[in-house]
């Protein structure tokens, strides 16, 4: 009996031990399970949320900061400012139109902006981001951030806004950037993935676009099932675009802009009641105010008028560096950096004096009497005249059944070549042009840089017209006539040039040895010895230089009033008629330019270089409808040269 109880006790002990072991294991496994659940649900919840099978990665390209444009003294001409941009991924939103309406309630979108975004979304894959609004204000950013959880598929990202600190002073040189166009996407599909990218549309921004744009970075955005970003992973950092240094000096540029605009008039205070009244009653003045113009002038007849329109080019005759390039009127390139308003675009695009036109490289003008150096040089080189050859100017030249008039109604009397240049005698050049022939004149003009693209660095440059027999046959289908040679002899008729070409011509005449080429980029300036030879005899060039000097230094020179103090100036005036004065107008006494409508007045031109004994700068000035080259363009050129030389720019 005792033995049996002992066996029962042993069995009970074994059962107790086994139950304890099992219970301990159960408790241990329970604790482990609880700990694991705590880790998964509490400690590592974010990590496993990111690894959810509903999470996805979006791949995107990151825009690089655009390279800067700097002047010759490293002052900023075009740069960047950081901004926040709002973008949407259509694939991540249930209804894009409703989303845009919701965003409109927060930051304000125009009906046109919403329509444009919907069109973009319709015409591209839905996984590609679309920019909704750039340059968000802090207020807009905070309001959007508060409601971001409700805005499916919406992202905030850093971008760069292009800024032009010099504004209108250099707009035709820098140009501007704006959003990519459908045509650009057709040429390069990867641009479609660069949301918010802006490309150069004009000026150096367009010419240097590839270099300025830099290299885009790559980034992955991990988003949850609601399309909200969970994590950003950078695969490669964007590389900033290349900086470019220009030959432009902003001190001289600023002076040249204001000097051209002023002309011979007096600047008045805009706040004057009489000025405000004139603006309200004059559509042309209003048009200038609407594009941000702050200068109003009073002319010699005490009328309130807009600033002068035209162009100035100042360049180094040895290196070809363009120190100043002015086209007036101008526009503010900052307007194009974002979405330009319809009103601002209308004011610029419909302006009567076309501020978007870069007159320096795309304005085509008859060179008038500034072309006479070409004709004189061609005649001397051909040997059809000598420097002593003289002709009698009676005020007109009879040829065939027509009289060709000189600007000096009573004539200049007997003049040789140098005197004819100084006094700008038309009759002298009618006759030597006939002797020389259009082919020789054409060839000399080409050597001086006329009728040739300069490739100064600005796109859409015009070639102009330097006519000859072949040109007329190919373009007009008719033969060249001697009467057309007569007219070409004074730089009119078919002859058309640009202000940059006239500056190159003057630089080559002043240099006397090399066919200098113009450039706007410091990196592209050449050693003076690297230019090709000019291939015009030194004796001919020396005679041309002396003749240009006599325009200022001789007692009857057309620019004798505008000597350059301390340096000496050589140059040539030009006045180009744009409308023939009718007999009725002459009888009414409407002959002087200032009495005519602006668009009926003559163009005023001047080309020159200084110092005369040791030339450094060449200049061309064109004042549209400015009247006389000697009274309008010459003093402008003189003042700009004086300003530049006194600063000893290298």
Question: Of 363, 357, 364, which Cα lies nearest the Cα of 175?
Answer: 357
Question: Of 82, 121, 76, which Cα lies nearest the Cα of 98?
Answer: 121
Task: Show Cβ contacts of residue 235 under 8 Å, excluding neighbours closer than 6 positions.
Answer: 217, 218, 219, 220
**CATH numeric code, 310-645:** 3.40.710.10
Provide the sign of the torsion angle of the four alpha carbons 225, 227, 228, 229, taken in this order: positive
Question: What distance in Å separates the CA atoms of residue 247 and residue 25, rounded to the nearest whole number?
Answer: 85
Question: For the chain, what percent of residues have pLDDT higher than 90?
Answer: 62
pLDDT band for position 144 (50/70/90)?
Answer: confident
Model confidence pLDDT, tens digit, residues 529-587: 899 999 999 999 999 999 999 999 999 999 999 999 889 999 999 999 887 665 565 55
Which top CATH class is 57-245? alpha beta
pLDDT at position 54: 45
Pairing of strands 76-88, 154-163: antiparallel
**Residue 474 pLDDT > 90, yes or no?**
yes
pLDDT at position 543: 98
DSSP annotation string for 225-293: TTS-EEEEEEEE--BPPPPEEBS--HHHHHHHHHHHHHTTSEEE-TTSHHHHHHHHT-HHHHHHHHTT-
**Residue 36 pLDDT > 70, yes or no?**
no
Question: What distance in Å separates the CA atoms of residue 501 and residue 602, rounded to the nearest whole number?
Answer: 20
Q: What is the pTM of this model?
A: 0.85
> Which of the residue ranges 6-10, 370-374, 491-495, 619-623 would you say has the lowest mean pLDDT?
6-10
pLDDT at position 298: 94
Pick left, alpha or beta for residue 203 (phi over 0 → left; psi -120 to 50 → alpha; otherwise beta).
Answer: left
Beta sheet of 217-223, edge-to-edge order: 56-62, 217-223, 229-236
Does the fold of domain 310-645 match that of domain 57-245?
no
pLDDT at position 530: 92
Average pLDDT, integer, range 317-328: 97
> Which of the residue ranges 104-118, 282-296, 306-320, 360-374 would you say has the lowest mean pLDDT?
104-118
- Counting beta carbons within 10 angstroms of the beta carbon of residue 535, is it exposed (0 to 12), middle (13 to 18) or buried (19 or more)? exposed
Q: What stretches of 406-505 adopt beta strand conformation (E)?
A: 413-416
Highest mean pLDDT among 43-47, 258-262, 399-403: 258-262
Report domain extents, the chain. 57-245, 264-305, 310-645
pLDDT at position 42: 66
Average pLDDT of every residue of the chain: 87
pLDDT at position 650: 46
């Amino acid at each position: 009996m005792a033995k049996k109880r002992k066996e029962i006790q042993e069995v009970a002990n074994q059962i107790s031990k086994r139950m304890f072991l099992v219970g301990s294991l159960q408790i241990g496994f329970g604790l482990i399970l609880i700990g694991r659940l705590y880790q998964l649900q509490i400690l590592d919840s974010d990590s496993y949320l990111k690894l959810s099978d509903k999470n996805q990665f979006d791949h995107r390209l990151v825009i690089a900061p655009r390279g800067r444009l700097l002047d010759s003294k490293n002052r900023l001409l075009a740069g960047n400012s950081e901004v926040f941009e709002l973008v949407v991924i259509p694939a991540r939103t249930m209804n894009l139109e409703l989303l845009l309406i919701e965003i409109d309630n927060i930051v304000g979108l125009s009906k046109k902006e919403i329509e444009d975004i919907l069109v973009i979304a319709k015409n591209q894959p839905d996984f590609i981001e679309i920019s909704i609004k750039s340059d968000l204000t802090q207020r807009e950013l905070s309001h959007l951030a508060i409601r971001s959880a409700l805005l499916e598929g919406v992202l905030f990202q850093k971008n760069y806004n292009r800024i032009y600190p010099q504004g209108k002073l250099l707009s035709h040189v820098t140009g501007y950037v704006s959003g990519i166009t459908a045509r650009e996407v057709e040429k390069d599909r990867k641009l479609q993935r660069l949301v918010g990218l802006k490309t150069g549309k004009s000026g150096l921004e367009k010419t240097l676009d590839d270099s300025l744009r830099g290299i885009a970075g790559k980034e992955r955005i991990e988003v949850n099932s609601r399309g909200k970003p969970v994590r950003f992973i950078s695969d490669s950092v964007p590389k900033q675009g290349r900086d470019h240094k220009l030959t432009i000096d902003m001190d001289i540029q600023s002076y040249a802009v204001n000097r051209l605009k002023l002309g011979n008039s007096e600047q008045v205070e805009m706040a004057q009641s009489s000025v405000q009244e004139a603006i309200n009653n004059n559509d042309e003045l209003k048009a200038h105010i609407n594009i941000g113009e702050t200068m109003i002038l009073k002319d010699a007849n005490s009328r309130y008028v807009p600033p002068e329109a035209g162009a100035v080019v100042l360049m180094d005759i040895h290196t070809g560096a363009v120190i100043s390039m002015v086209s007036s009127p101008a526009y503010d390139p900052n307007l194009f950096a974002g979405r330009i308003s319809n009103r601002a675009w209308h004011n610029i695009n419909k302006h009567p004096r076309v501020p978007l036109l870069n007159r320096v490289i795309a304005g085509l003008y008859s060179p008038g009497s500034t072309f006479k150096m070409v004709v004189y040089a061609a005649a001397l080189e051909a040997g059809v005249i000598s420097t002593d050859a003289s002709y009698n100017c009676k005020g007109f030249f009879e040829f065939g059944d027509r009289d060709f008039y000189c600007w000096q109604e009573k004539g200049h009397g007997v003049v040789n070549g140098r005197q004819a240049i100084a006094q700008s005698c038309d009759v002298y050049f009618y006759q030597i042009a006939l002797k020389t022939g259009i082919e020789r004149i054409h060839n000399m003009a080409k050597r001086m840089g006329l009728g040739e693209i300069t490739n100064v660095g600005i796109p859409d440059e015009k070639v102009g017209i330097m006519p000859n027999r072949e040109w007329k046959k190919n373009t007009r289908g008719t033969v060249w006539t001697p009467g057309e040679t007569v007219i070409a002899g004074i730089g009119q008729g078919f002859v058309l040039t640009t202000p940059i070409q006239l500056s190159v011509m003057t630089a080559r005449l002043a240099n006397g040895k090399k066919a200098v080429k113009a450039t706007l980029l410091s990196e592209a300036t050449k050693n003076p010895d690297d230019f090709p030879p000019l291939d015009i005899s030194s004796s001919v060039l020396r005679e041309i230089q002396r003749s240009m000097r006599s325009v200022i230094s001789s007692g009857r020179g057309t620019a004798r009033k505008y000597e350059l103090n301390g340096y000496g100036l050589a140059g040539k005036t030009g006045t180009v008629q744009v409308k023939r004065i009718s007999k009725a107008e002459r009888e009414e006494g409407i002959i002087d330019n200032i009495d005519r409508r602006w668009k009926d007045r003559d163009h005023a031109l001047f080309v020159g270089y200084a110092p005369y004994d040791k030339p450094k700068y060449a200049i061309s000035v064109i004042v549209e409808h400015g009247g006389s080259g000697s009274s309008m363009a010459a003093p402008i050129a003189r003042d700009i040269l004086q300003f530049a030389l006194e600063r000893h720019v290298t």
